[in-house]
Amino acid sequence: MQQDLVHAIKSNPKYHELISKRKSFAWILAAIMLVIYYGFILIIAFNKEFLSQPLWSGSITTVGIPIGIGVIVSAFILTGIYVYRANSEFDRLSREIKEEVL
């Protein structure tokens, strides 16, 4: 990429808006996923009793079942949240930057 194009893009305020928004959004979601997954693993390692309780009085289904499936579903939901915002807001910003500099 030519140096003048790089400078034109970097001096565009929308470029800075795009990268700061996207960076913080991606890292926050990544941190949430890390906390959910390692939280789950640490509960298994240190507090199995919590996951072994019946889900409701007299049930065979334990608390661990919806929590485990919940971790799987949360991964899907988090990617969905990211795509929703990235494919609308972030892509719109990228498009505007392109239109302004190219």
> Interface residues with other proteins (CB under 8 A)?
1, 3, 5-6, 9-10, 15, 18-19, 22, 26-27, 29-30, 33, 37-38, 40-42, 44-46, 48, 51-52, 59-62, 64-65, 68-69, 71-73, 75-76, 78-80, 82-83, 86-87, 91, 94, 97-98, 101-102
CA distance 23 to 28: 8
CB 10 → other proteins: shortest distance, Å? Answer: 6
Q: How far is CA 2 from CA 5, 24, 33, 96, in A?
A: 5, 28, 38, 19
Q: Which is closer to other proteins, CB of 13 or CB of 76?
A: 76
CB 74 → other proteins: shortest distance, Å? Answer: 9
The angle formed by the CA atoms of residues 68, 70 and 72, to the nearest 5 degrees, is 80
CB 9 → other proteins: shortest distance, Å? Answer: 5
Q: What are phi and psi of 62, to 5 degrees?
A: -95, 165
